[in-house]
Amino acid sequence: MIEILDYELPKRNKYPNGYQPKIEYWQYKANKAVANCDVEAARYALQKLEYFLGRQAEVNARLSNLYND
């Protein structure tokens, strides 16, 4: 029996377009919550938006290092 280990399989890129679709989604949700005066939903959406903006900034920094070195 041949055992296939996880590290032998190529990893699938979970976010091939970066985090931009997630950023747009949570920006939409935040705007909608603000328009509806839903403070808790706005806070939650803004937390998610901040998280994905940070992740995209990390990706941009890594790409910048790859192409500028």
3-state secondary structure 1-69: CCCCCHHHCCCCCCCCCCCHHHHHHHHHHHHHHHHCCCHHHHHHHHHHHHHHHHHHHHHHHHHHHHHHC
Q: Pick 66 or 7 by higher pLDDT.
A: 66
Please state, in angstroms and rounded to a whole number, the distance separating the CA atoms of residues 45 and 27.
7
**How much is the average pLDDT of 33-52?**
97
Is the pTM higher than 0.95?
no
CA distance 19 to 54: 10
Residue type, 66: L
Identify the pLDDT of residue 52.
95
* pLDDT tens per residue across span 3-29: 444 455 555 667 777 899 999 999 999
